Structure 1
Amino acid sequence: MLTCEICGEEIMLEEDMKTHLLLSHLENDMHCPLCSLSGVSYNELYFHIGSAHPEKQQGVQGPGHHDDVSKTPQTGPELLFQFSLAGDSCDMAGETTTTGVCSTTIDSVPQKQKVSPGTDLRVARQLHQEEEQIRKQEEAQQEREEFKKLQRQFGLDDRGGYCRQMERTMERAVARGLMTPSEFHYKRAEMMESLASGFDDGRTRTQGVVRALHEYYQTECRDCVHVWLSADTDHYCSSAGDKGWGCGYRNFQMLLSSLHRIETYAPFLQEKAMPSIPQVQSMIEEAWKEGLDPQGASHFNKRLQGTRAWIGSTEIFILLTSMGISARIIDFHQPTGPGDTHPWLFDWVKQYFFQSSRSSKLPPRLIHTSLPPLYLQHQGHSRCIVGMEQKKNGSLCLLLLDPGSSVSDTRKLLSGDTISTAIRHVRKFPASLKHKQYQVVAIQGVLSAEEKQITISNSKILCAERIP
């Protein structure tokens, strides 16, 4: 049994191997033994001899044809293989071959350098290996560039985390004359003290937002047949230290501020003070060490502290699980309405808030529930859903707190003189949410020790509930 060194095909006979090499690997290197035609395939050469040299065609048969067996003829492939590889001309000057194809002398036929089939195979293999090596090097270089790009995009490069970004922001303020050097050192020391404690300094917090919304809806927006509000929730906005990447952390702080006020969850929260962003990063790393979401841990190389890495639904889920709080991720993975809208998302949120009034046959127009807000994620940003409106015509509107809103803008919700204008930035109708995909993290109770271990085990392959 013979094995082709190029493609690995196994062939019984040497003659068949020659034909295989000719037709599968070398046929484009053939040339006419009777004239200067070259660079053609076997079939093209066979046709050429028949049309250009008809008087010399005797003995050259097409594939699968033979002369009288008693004459021990050479078939067409064998003969042309012999012409192509073993001299590219007649066997002897001035004499005919065994099949009588040609009586032309060697000197009258263009000659090529004689190369053995083994040499051709070695050269071909070497060229193939060199091309493969070059291709792999180019792919590796492209992968490195893409990885660096992703690191920069998701804050996993070496630019530093919250602390370093805050320092650079203050350094620029000093350079522009907006801050004195003494102020810089004072604020830097203040920041380091806050970070060392692990607690948020509260500079970006606005309290009483949901209570202000409740007061507003008691007298305004009479076109709403129902308004649902979550439990009281503080608003946390991005600061100079996390601008551009901290929305997930700030939304977690909003969720946590609500859980502290809900009797079901408050006893399970060890710390009553709000953790800082670096502390939240440390909490996620500890959750990974518990065995939660090993795939996500691998994505971040098991490190968040000192980076500007974005977090999303899965990190919120494992944070809550590590705290003994039950949560679920619902994935609205495609639009379900006209114009790339997501009416199924709005319907799902309505059912979430409606659960608090199912016992009432005629639920009141304004319902301030004890439910936690919902974490809403889409590509590049996240927000908190703290309520929903249902209009008389049946249309639905989400009420969102956005970490991108500044403290000054958010505090306009607290004043009766400005809330009617400021609330426009809180309302989001279906036409305003047109990203391809949204994910919601919903809190749904507490976990027993056994349930927590089951959730940790199941998170090895963390899956969301897909709707639809």
Structure 2
Amino acid sequence: MNYSCCPICENPIPINEIEWHVNNHLEDDEFAKDMELAQQIALAPPSPPQIDRSFCLDFDPESVFEEVPESSTSRDLKSGSRKNEPKDIDEQICCIISLQSKAIFYKVESGLMTLLKNCLELENSTSILSGYVDHFQSTRSEDMGWGCGWRNIQMVSSHLLMERPEARKVLFGGSEYVPEIGSLQRWLEVAWQRGFDIVGSKFFKGEIYGSKKWIGTTECAALLCFFGLRAKIVDFDGKGNKRDVGRVDKPMDRFVARRDIDAKEGPAKFGDGSTQNSKGYQALIDWVWSYFSEQKPKESQRRGVVVTNKMPLYFQHQGHSRTIIGIQAKHQKNGQQQYNLLVLDPAHNTEALERSLKENCGWQKFLKRGLHTLRKPQYQLCYVDPGIARGEEIEKLKDLTSVLIEC
């Protein structure tokens, strides 16, 4: 029998069992993270009453606002303190544009997605990938523990700026780069002042700059919609839960009624009604596969890997958010397909990820997430349709809605 070295524990494992073995490692890792989060929740102060929230802010175990560690850019932005801020929104926008700076991150020279494509081509599978994406990791000195939502906004923005000329002209004042977190917070405040996601604005009292408050899918959508991008939200509910607006029983219940969910819209654009009856979160897998495969390939298929211009997906669940950059399907001996989401996590180290891809060893633990790892009660995705909204369509984007898929 042929054996292969496990990329995580380095023990020799039969080749036909290696994927199952690695997935078990990943599942244990997810469980450990959940236990650590549960301990944090147990020690956290109770949530304030009557919070009109819905699905899916990353849970913030701290109920107080704290200052972001100061970078030179943060100090520059603070120089126009709130008391002295220009009252005119257009003046505020000009101020942000003049003071914002490019986010500092580890740049993968060969291109992260190119390295991933090379590794996937060596596997007996079919994979569909998003186009260009940079990885933005959370850092201990700046945003460890609370900044994953902002990092995912940076990741999806890196794609939009590179792959969509229309988005490049409008995002972040036409700067053509991804700003650091402080500037993103300022842009979100202006979006709220312009009337985007009024419910979310009320929850944060209209202020997010300089805080460690955790954000989620709706903040990502509100920010992108402010620039005229057609951001859409999809909810996946694995338990058919009825969501009571404003009901808060315990800290982790701060997640369900931030938008109007339009049941009349039916299933998501990229899925059909049959997926709603699939077992577990197969509906989510089917939707993601259909989403990435909807568009014609950006380049010709090589060894089972297709690269498209599809935007990566902002991927949210209770306690954390990540970015889906593609999906893989492997044909099993029983005739069924085994699917893996390909996911970038802000909690991972970019240099370690790059090294594992270059060596084609251990990258699976960073990027692959199988169906069995989807164990949260709800998940939420955000994506952006092509084009720029104008006039009345902009006004409609101010009220965030989502499509609900019951799994």
1:231 pairs with one of 131, 144, 148? 131
**Structure 2 counterpart of 1:311:** 215
What CA RMSD, in Å, does the superposition of the two structures yield over aligned residues? 3.2
Question: Would the alpha carbon gap of residues 191 and 408 (structure 1) be closer, same or farther in structure 2, given more than 3 Å must change?
Answer: farther
| Map 1:314-393 → 2, pairs under 5 A | 314-334=218-238, 341-357=280-296, 365-393=304-332
The answer to whether the Cα contact below 8 Å between 2:158 and 2:177 also exists between their aligned partners in 1 is: no
Mean Cα displacement is larger for which, 202-211 or 284-293? Answer: 202-211
Q: Once the 2 structures are TM-superposed, how far is the Cα of residue 443 of structure 1 from its aligned partner?
A: 1.2
1:249 is matched with which residue? 150
Q: CA deviation at 1:281?
A: 0.8
Mapped pair 1:259 → 2:160:
yes
Question: What's the CA shift for 1:201?
Answer: 4.2
TM superposition shift of 1:410: 2.1
Contact 2:230 2:389 in 1 (8 A): no
Instruction: State how far apart, in whole Å, the 2-side matches of 1:206 and 1:161 are.
Output: 30
Which digits, 9 at most, give the CA deviation of each residue in 1:107-137, with x for residues without a partner? xxxxxxxxxxxxxxxxxxxxxxxxxxxxxxx
The 1:194/1:283 distance shift into structure 2, 3 A limit, reads closer
Q: Determine helix, strand or coil for the equivalent of 1:253.
A: helix
| Structure 1 contact 154–309 (Cα < 8 Å) conserved | no
Q: Which residue of structure 2 aligns with residue 441 of structure 1? A: 382
Separation of aligned partners in 1, 2:370 and 2:317? 16
Give yes or no for contact 2:68–2:142 (8 Å, CA) kept in 1.
yes
Identity of aligned pairs, percent? 27
Q: Name the TM-score, length of structure 2 as normaliser.
A: 0.64
Q: In the TM superposition, what is the alpha-carbon distance from 1:190 to its structure 2 partner?
A: 8.2
Instruction: Please state whether the residue corresponding to 2:208 is helix, strand or coil.
Output: coil
**SS of equivalent to 1:302:** coil
Task: Summarize deviations over 1:17-56 as a string: whole Å, max 9, x none.
Answer: xxxxxxxxxxxxxxxxxxxxxxxxxxxxxxxxxxxxxxxx
Three-state SS of the structure 2 residue aligned to 1:261 is helix
SS of the residue 1:396 aligns to: strand
- For the residues of structure 2 that align with 1:285 and 1:321, how far apart are their CA atoms? 13
Contact 1:200 1:277 in 2 (8 A): no
1:217 aligns with 2:120: yes
- 1:257 CA displacement: 0.5
Over 3 Å counting, the alpha-carbon distance change for 1:431 and 1:263 in structure 2 is same
Asked if 1:420 is matched to 2:361, the reply is yes
Q: CA-to-partner distance for each residue in 1:287-312, whole Å, 9 max, x for gaps?
A: 11111111110001111012101111
Could you tell me which runs of 5 or more consecutive residues in structure 2 were left unpaired when the two chains were aligned: 1-44, 52-58, 80-98, 240-274
Alignment of structure 1 residues 124-135 onto 2, 5 Å: none
Separation (CA, whole Å) in 1 of partners of 2:46 and 2:157:
38
> Structure 1 residues 290 and 364 mapped into 2: Cα distance closer, same or farther (>3 Å)?
farther
- One-letter code aligned to 1:345: L
Q: For the Cα contact (< 8 Å) 2:236–2:379, is it kept in 1? A: yes
Asked whether the equivalents of residues 388 and 397 of structure 1 are also in contact (C-alpha less than 8 Å), the reply is yes
Query: Contact conserved, 1:155 with 1:307, CA < 8 A, in 2?
Result: no
Name which of 392, 403, 406 aligns with 1:465.
403
Q: Structure 1 residue 211: deviation in Å?
A: 1.3
Bigger Cα Rg? 1
Contact 2:136 2:154 in 1 (8 A): yes
Q: Which residue of 2 aligns with 1:161?
A: 67
Q: Which residue of 1 aligns with 2:345?
A: 402
* C-alpha deviation, 1:251, in angstroms: 0.3
The answer as to whether partners of 2:188 and 2:222 remain within 8 angstroms in 1 is yes
Report the Cα offset of residue 215 of structure 1.
1.9
Question: Alpha carbons of 1:200 and 1:162: their partners in 2 closer, same or farther (altered >3 Å)?
Answer: farther
**TM-score, normalising length: structure 1:** 0.56
| Structure with greater proportional helix content | 1
In 1, Cα distance between equivalents of 2:76 and 2:206 = 26
Residue 328 (structure 1) shift: 0.8
Deviation at 1:391, TM superposition (A): 0.8
CA distance in 2, matches of 1:189, 1:363: 45
Matches for 1:93-172 after TM superposition, within 5 Å:
146-147=47-48, 153=60, 155-158=62-65, 160-163=66-69
Matched-pair contact (CA < 8 Å) for 2:185–2:209: yes
Secondary structure class of the residue paired with 2:233: strand
Aligned to 1:286: 190
> Taking structure 1 as reference, are residues 194 and 284 closer, same or farther at Cα in structure 2, changes over 3 Å only?
closer
Change (3 A) 1:253 1:337: same
1:372-418 Cα deviation digits (max 9, x unpaired): 10110000100111011111131211100000001332222442x2x
* Structure 1 residue ranges without an equivalent (≥5): 1-143, 165-187
The 1-side partners of 2:373 and 2:304 are apart by: 24
1:455 aligns with 2:399: no
